Structure 1
Amino acid sequence: MSRTGALHQTAQVLSDFDRRLINALQGDFPLSSTPFDDIAARLDCQPEEVMEGVESLLERGVITRFGPLFNIEQLGGTFSLCALHVPEERFEEVTELVNACPEVAHNYRRDHHWNMWFVLATETLEELEATFDDIVARSDCPGLNLPKEQEFYVGLRLTA
């Protein structure tokens, strides 16, 4: 599940349940056939409340994505950090174009010349380059393709 469209940053008031849910979803996610039941048991609620809570967090923009993260390289694929310089008046339009590509993840707006940053993940380097070139051509915006040279692992868990 992910939120599409332009990225907006607004302050959100989180309920106690929102906070407990966010904390429960990070890190030790149950690998079972009933993960929402397992999380509901931890939170002493119903599985439907967990699913509705996740949807609410996505809709309100508290979280921008909910789902697994795969190590694309271990699966035989490749990925790259990419950026576009998008004119302000076209930002919504280009966001929709970029987010419509299934190869795109983690699309973020930045206050910088290169104001749209996203990750491309594909099965091959050739497919990655072709997808990036297509996005640049269709958006008519200058782009940067920055493939990974070295990986650094930073464990991050945010307590809500």
Structure 2
Amino acid sequence: MNLDALSSRLIERFQHGMPLCAAPYQAMADALDCSESELLACLQGLEQSGALSRIGPVFEHRRAGASTLVALAVPAERLEQVAAQINLYPEVNHNYSREHRYNLWFVLTGPDRPHLDRLLGQIHTATGLTPLDLPMYAAYRIDLGFSLNFAVGDVP
């Protein structure tokens, strides 16, 4: 996908944080030397093209409650149905499939570990599948940002 100049600048500048203020989109527009309406149109275009999936905070889970990585071994013919079922839980994010016996992976986040344990039980009951619970014990790198300013062959 080829990005226009505003889209590239927007991603480079704000993939690691938005302004925390009453008018964050205006503050972003000011930083990018464009109007708020241009910025919002840019964000809408990125979303419609599939280049942007969400705008929002990423919380450090130990400060915001509890979270765990979960994997399910879903029969191929049930994958779409089970993924849709899992997506009904508001505590679920980052739900995706992988090529592996454990082919559906998602993150559960909640107020505390007992809440997550209840959700894991509900998911087991609802799907008939046993969740593989993989809680994080230590974070080594959480930066999910990617530079758009590197040449082919460079290591970002």
Q: Verify: 1:65 aligned to 2:51, yes or no.
A: no
Work out which of the two has the higher radius of gyration on C-alpha atoms and give 1 or 2. Answer: 2
What's the % identity of the aligned pairs?
33
Q: Unpaired runs of 5+ in structure 1?
A: 1-11
How far 1:28 moved relative to its partner?
A: 4.3
Deviation per CA, 1:61-115, whole angstroms, max 9, x where unpaired? 223322111223223x111011112222222222221112110111122121111
Partner of 1:122: 110
Give the counterpart of 1:83 among 60, 65, 71.
Answer: 71
Give the counterpart of 1:145 among 129, 133, 136.
Answer: 133
- Considering fraction of residues, name the structure with more helix: 2
Deviation per CA, 1:44-65, whole angstroms, max 9, x where unpaired? 2221232232233233322332
- Over aligned residue pairs, what C-alpha RMSD do you find? 1.9
TM-score by length of 2: 0.82
Distance in 1, matches of 2:124 and 2:40, equals 36
Partner of 1:42: 31
Question: Higher RCO, 1 or 2 (CA under 8 Å, sep at least 6)?
Answer: 1
Deviation per CA, 1:6-44, whole angstroms, max 9, x where unpaired? xxxxxx333333222211222242111111001111222
TM-score by length of 1: 0.80
Amino acid in the other structure paired with 1:113: R
Count the aligned residue pairs: 148
Residues 96-107 of structure 1: matches in 2 within 5 Å? 96-107=84-95
Q: Unpaired runs of 5+ in structure 2?
A: 149-156
Distance in 2, matches of 1:15 and 1:95, equals 34
Distance in 1, matches of 2:37 and 2:78, equals 39
Query: Aligned to 1:74, what secondary structure does the other structure show?
Result: helix
